[in-house]
Chains A and B, each alone.
Chain A
Amino acid sequence: MIKITGLTKSFGAKAITRGLDLEINDGEFLAIIGRSGEGKSVLLKQIIGLITPDAGTVIIDGQDITKLKGRARQAVFKKCGYVFQFAALLDSLNVLENVGITLIENDGKTIEDVAPLVTNRLRDVGLDQDVLDKYPDELSGGMKKRVGLARTLMTNPKILIYDEPTTGLDPITVRLIHELIKKTHEEQKVTSIVISHDIEIFKYATHVAMLHEGKIAYKGPASTIWECTNPYIYQFIRGLPEGPIKQIGFVNESV
């Protein structure tokens, strides 16, 4: 279980999370939604420990990860897998080396040792072994995201965090990626947290949380999201210009 309490983070004068509270149960598939620039990625990076919050706690399996340093923090990373928005593959390594990197660097295995394991993982995410020798700049956006997911799965994480996994992809690939996330969630029996701007994610998630002005404005089941009367959710998922969510960055700015 992940329990976040009073999470606060500012960059200079700009407050990103403002005493945010959130609980995510084991096995949950949580979709986090919110406007661009709300700090969803910063929230995820605080959950996994890539960004240290100014205040608040992030308790994963009874351990406050905000207090951890060095190897203890590295152990947390073994529990949590993070799939980056643009995959963040190491561009000097080919797909085989990218996906097998944790086994090569942390466990001292050779390329020959990891090749069959990598091939299996790639198959899990719908890629065949033709891509093994390719470098990241030779892959399409969707393939990069699959390779990124395969790399993350190599550590067998209990918690999988996806930062906008479908951004910039065509509708067919979006659907395939969503199905892959769902399949991975069910087969690996993991807790999944997905940031998405795509309302299709509600078909796959078990829960939805909305981030607004640095706090969770709503959290509830995904299955009933379209019947939800919460004014923030109502406005956001329908894309309505009028409502409690103010427009920021436009000429008729009302904030």
Chain B
Amino acid sequence: MLMRTIDNVGSVVLDLCYFMGSVGLFVQEMVVTLFSTRLKVKKLFYQMSYIGIGSVSIVFLVGVAVGAVLALQSYVGLNRFGSTQFIGPIVFLSMTREFGPVFAAIMVIGRAGSAMTAELGSMRISEQIDALQTLSINPFQYLIVPRVLAATIILPFLSILCSFFGIVAGYVTAVYLLAINPDTYMETIRANVQMSDITNGLIKAVIFGFLLAVIATYKGYVTRGGAKGLGMSTTQSVVLANVTIIAADYILTSLMFTK
């Protein structure tokens, strides 16, 4: 029993080490390719459009819902202390520092990240990636770099949009539903918000975009095992990317906002 437990723990640790090493080499290859080969600009713009413009509607819906809920929940709590004038800063800071980047990333994982894994995985198991190599086309230059770079560039913009929609929804909820004075709402935001609240949220979004795209492309690139393997890769990619974003959010929040 004890030996079996040790065996299982050892196996998990070895798998984890293999995975970390493998992802490390993948990122290294990607970075080397980025700086040593010509960037496929057309593909980069296509991916930016696919990830960015394609995700605007869903980011809008999520931003509005989160902003409105935040305003309502804040009202419930703050009303008990007679501090409802602070709904504005709470919605604003929550959206820019936390929910904007995190929800934008989660939406992109669900919509574009899973598609990246499925597309690359399908190309892997049908030997299309091998075919690219035999044609002297660098798969990292052709497939990986444009996707990772596009997600890294576009996620801050989606984060801004998500935050903006949330703040507007919070304003509408607070002013028209909860009868908060609009001037007070705006004034308290101006008085309590710093530029770093916005920039740190954007830094988070850049890092989230990079992480989610690396996980999505890596999982697709190493797919094996036919249709079943492709399904597993896609599921693992979505789960792992979401967990990574939440964990990275905690770490970044600790580093950025605790001082």
Enumerate chain A interface residues (CB-CB to B < 8 A). Answer: 45, 48, 50, 74-75, 77-78, 80-82, 84-86, 88-91, 101-102, 105-106, 151-152, 155
Residues of chain B lying within 8 A (CB to CB) of residue A152: 134-135
Residues of chain B lying within 8 A (CB to CB) of residue A151: 135
- Residue in B122, B131, B137 whose CB lies within 8 Å of A105: B137
Bound: A106/B134 CA distance, A: 13
Assess the B127–A86 pair: CB atoms within 8 A.
yes
Q: What 0/1 readout, one digit per residue, does chain B (108-137) give for beta carbons within 8 Å of chain A?
A: 000000000000001100111011111111
Closest to A106 in B: B136
Residues of chain B lying within 8 A (CB to CB) of residue A48: 134
- Residue in B40, B123, B134 whose CB lies within 8 Å of A82: B134
Assess the B136–A88 pair: CB atoms within 8 A.
no
Closest to B135 in A: A102
Assess the B134–A105 pair: CB atoms within 8 A.
no
Bound: A84/B138 CA distance, A: 18
| Chain B: minimal CB distance from A63 (Å) | 16
| Chain B: minimal CB distance from A68 (Å) | 13
Residues of chain B lying within 8 A (CB to CB) of residue A102: 135-137
B142 at the interface (CB under 8 A from A): yes
23 A-B pairs (CB sep. < 8 Å): A75-B136, A77-B134, A77-B136, A78-B136, A82-B130, A82-B131, A84-B130, A86-B126, A88-B126, A88-B128, A88-B130, A89-B128, A89-B131, A90-B131, A91-B126, A91-B128, A101-B137, A102-B137, A105-B40, A105-B137, A105-B142, A152-B135, A155-B136
Closest to B40 in A: A105
Number of B residues, CB within 8 Å of A: 16
Bound: A48/B135 CA distance, A: 11
Closest to B122 in A: A91
| Chain A: minimal CB distance from B109 (Å) | 22
Assess the A77–B131 pair: CB atoms within 8 A.
no
Bound: A168/B83 CA distance, A: 75
Bound: A89/B127 CA distance, A: 9
Residues of chain A lying within 8 A (CB to CB) of residue B126: 86, 88, 91
Residues of chain B lying within 8 A (CB to CB) of residue A88: 126-128, 130-131
Bound: A154/B40 CA distance, A: 21
| Chain A: minimal CB distance from B250 (Å) | 38
Residues of chain B lying within 8 A (CB to CB) of residue A81: 134
Residues of chain A lying within 8 A (CB to CB) of residue B132: 90
- Residue in B122, B128, B131, B137 whose CB lies within 8 Å of A106: B137
Assess the B128–A90 pair: CB atoms within 8 A.
yes
CB under 8 Å from chain A, chain B span 26-51: 40
Bound: A86/B136 CA distance, A: 19
| Chain A: minimal CB distance from B130 (Å) | 5
| Chain B: minimal CB distance from A107 (Å) | 10
| Chain A: minimal CB distance from B221 (Å) | 14
